[in-house]
Structure 1
Amino acid sequence: MTLEQKFEKLKNILSELGSVAVAYSGGVDSTFLLKVAHDVLGENVIAVTATSSTYPEREFNEAKKYAEQFGVKHIVIVSEELEIEGFSKNPIDRCYYCKRELFSKIYDVAKEYGIKYVADGSNFDDLNDYRPGMKAAKELNVVSPIKEAQLTKEDIRELSRRMNLPTWNKPSFACLSSRFPYGHEITEEKLKMVEKAEQILLDLGFKQVRVRHHGEIARIEVAAQERERFFNVEILDFVGDKFKEIGFTYVTLDVHGYRTGSMNEKIIN
């Protein structure tokens, strides 16, 4: 299918659904889905955003701003993953428990507002990664219109650019829990360390960042084209000092740079 055909398919899918509650994070995919859904279904669309210690304040503020710009009713709920039994132990299927609770709460909101379906922003590329959250979505009959229309991440960015969406070139983001190797305990304190560390890099002008938490070690991932910025002694010293203030003992740079699902490499390979 051409990009235009995929886009038409997405709009047809949404039209047939009639009404949807979009699980809205403010990221590239969910923002695109929310805008198209609102264009197709109007007031039969609501955006539902869950706040928690795994969701940085900067991301929440952007989600709130975009929903307001689109004129979409925006509902904010609390979904604290650390309170889910077993979640903090960071099992390999951690995302399953998180998504199951999240989608269950969004369904409660959808029911309250007379909305038929809950939709997430999964795209066609997600089929190539380890995504236990998809199991929860399937069990709860969450629909994935973007994925069903076979739209890839690149497709979504291009369509978002054409639609003048502010997120068309926004760096990919995943919840802060994804910064920890499976089996390493997740705590609110550690999540705050990661959030602060990533904010330091963002404030320095880095666009795509991840700070992986390996106990005493912080492993920095930045976009491949941004790695050369670390060939600067002043930046190295500044980042090292700031990260140690946060609580890390050692600070390292991943020489391969950022890549989606780097914590899943041992699982997939």
Structure 2
Amino acid sequence: ETHELENPAYQANQPDRCYHCKEELFSVLDQLAQERGFAAVAYGVNADDTLDFRPGHRAAMEHRVLAPLLDAGLSKPEIRLLSKMAGLPTWDRPASACLASRLPYGTEVTHERLSLVERGEAALRALGFHQFRVRLHDQLARVEIAQEELPRALGPEMAAAIARELKSAGFTYVTLDLEGYRQGSLNDSLRRS
């Protein structure tokens, strides 16, 4: 069990938030690996992850965590293909970053905010969407849906259903981001700085 939500540096949700989370995670995993006789800890960072801001990777390096997919130079599509060929049932599962990545930097990470985002994303999943994020901006849900699913989301009946379900989940306002789902879109503010 990890306790990153008890760490003020994590709660503050600055651009290095992922470092503090991974530091906690790898500290716990190091101890667990030692107790169970494992020689190393590995994680699933891949070549595509190097294209975005990844402060958690620094914690992995500090803990000497292995990165076999990155070391092999494998991209996300290549990993999906290899997983499919191996018959893994998760080969096409959508990427799923931690819920704190839905909060803009500087917005305190709390159980309540994470729960609100989780309820919002559960509502979108129940409506049949596959690749999406609910980005929290105060009480506003900025919904990012994959480009190929946007036409369905923009239909009047579905748009009304999305708004109704997200308001029922606890949001006051609901918007649909016309740029669609973009991995790491909250890092756009870092790129502009």
AA partner of residue 253 (structure 1) = L
- One-letter amino acid of the counterpart of residue 98, structure 2: C
For 1:230 and 1:259, the matched residues in 2 are separated by 16
AA aligned to 1:140 is: H
In structure 2, distance between residues paired with 1:210 and 1:233: 20
2:25 to 88, 95, 102: 102
Q: Deviations over 1:116-146 (max 9, x none)?
A: 1010100011111100000101111111011
Deviations 1:159-201 (A, max 9, x none): 0111111111111110000000000111111111110110111
Residue in structure 2 matching 1:150, options 73, 81, 84:
73
The Cα of 1:235 is off from its aligned counterpart by: 1.7
Provide TM-score, normalisation by structure 2: 0.96
2:61 aligned residue: 138
Q: Which residue of 2 aligns with 1:112?
A: 35
**Structure 1-normalised TM-score?**
0.69
Output the CA distance in 2 between the equivalents of 1:247 and 1:232: 23
How far 1:80 sits from its partner (Å)? 2.7
CA RMSD of aligned residues (A): 1.0
Gaps of 5+ in 1: 1-77
SS in 1 for 2:144: strand
Deviation at 1:85, TM superposition (A): 2.3
CA distance in 2, matches of 1:226, 1:87: 33
Whole-Å Cα distance in 1 between the matches of residues 91 and 188 of structure 2?
A: 27
Stretches (4+) displaced over 3 A: none
Identity %: 47
In structure 2, C-alpha distance between the alignment counterparts of 1:130 and 1:181, rounded to whole Å: 14
1:182 alignment counterpart:
105
* CA–CA distance in structure 2, aligned partners of residues 199 and 163 of structure 1: 29
Unmatched tracts of structure 2, length 5 or more: none
State the shift of 1:86 in Å: 2.2
